[in-house]
Amino acid sequence: MGKDDKGMTRRTKLFLRTAIMGIAMLMLTAVVQVNADRQSALTGLETYLAVMFPEATRFTENTGSSPHIQAFQITNDSEELLGFAFLTLDIEPLERGYEGPIEMLVGLDVNGKLTGVEMIKHREPYGYFSIDLPEFTEQFLNKSILDRFRVGEDVDGITTATITVSSATRAIRKSARRIASAFLAGTSSDAH
């Protein structure tokens, strides 16, 4: 029946090779799909970026270890970095709300101040207590990365959505501090 010295038939070897190749192809397809989804998500952010950085004339992507978008203002022959925009799930992927991940786009200027927060996607309940309401994200405008970001102190809480608000606030705080620590000189991500 064509057994080799280890007792495995050629048919079994062929089956195993085919199965391994099939699994490898599935994994590759999944990776390509995730990257395509992420790229299409970034493409739809131009409107938000223009609000967060109204002076910006150019945005560049960086998909390094801390994926972010850089905002630049080009004047005459010089280019000035205005800040960074990033998706919280790219920086803090394990931070979850009550119903799952909360994805927000956060803008951070070169002085360590938030230039805006936009809710991109979440599965949290919607209603009068929702984090979708503009009041929730607007309260982070001009907040420093050195602020405490404590619900009930410097962040208004929504009493019926404590888990969601706390999680969203932590995601903003942690991701902004991580970006600042990586790209801004003289900042400390260990504040409070």
In sequence order, what DSSP letters do the residues of 33-87 get, joined into one string?
Answer: HHHHHHHHHHHTTHHHHHHH-TT-SEEEEE-SSS-EEEEEEEETTEEEEEEEEEE
Q: Is the pLDDT of residue 187 over 60?
A: no
In a domain, 12, yes or no: yes
In a domain, 122, yes or no: yes
Identify the CA nearest to 2 among candidates 45, 13, 171.
Answer: 13
> Does 61 lie in the same domain as 33?
no
Give the chain's radius of gyration (CA, Å).
Answer: 22
C-alpha to C-alpha distance for 72 and 139, rounded to whole angstroms: 25
Environment class of 75 (CB within 10 Å of its CB; exposed 0-12, middle 13-18, buried 19+): exposed
> Does 13 lie in the same domain as 96?
no
Angle at 152 (CA atoms; ends 146, 156), nearest 5 degrees: 85
In a domain, 191, yes or no: no
> Does 71 lie in the same domain as 153?
yes
Dihedral angle, C-alpha 79, 104, 178, 129, nearest 10 ° = 130
> Does 130 lie in the same domain as 150?
yes
> Does 145 lie in the same domain as 162?
yes
> Does 48 lie in the same domain as 27?
no
Q: Per the structure, how many domains does the chain have?
A: 2
pLDDT in tens, 59-116: 998 777 789 999 999 998 899 999 999 999 999 999 988 888 989 999 999 999 999 9
Confidence of residue 31 (pLDDT cuts 50, 70, 90): low
Q: Quick count: other Cβ atoms within 10 Å of Cβ 150? A: 13
Beta pairing, strands 58-62 & 102-109: unpaired
pLDDT in tens, 137-180: 999 999 999 999 988 888 887 655 678 889 999 999 999 999 99
What pTM, to 2 d.p., does this model score? 0.73
> Does 22 lie in the same domain as 112?
no
Identify the CA nearest to 89 among candidates 101, 106, 77, 75.
Answer: 101
Confidence of residue 191 (pLDDT cuts 50, 70, 90): very low
> Does 157 lie in the same domain as 172?
yes
> Does 163 lie in the same domain as 116?
yes
> Does 36 lie in the same domain as 113?
no
Structural domain including 32 reads 1-43
C-alpha to C-alpha distance for 87 and 41, rounded to whole angstroms: 10
Asked if residue 85 lies in contact with residue 68, where contact means CB atoms within 8 angstroms, the answer is yes
> Does 156 lie in the same domain as 142?
yes
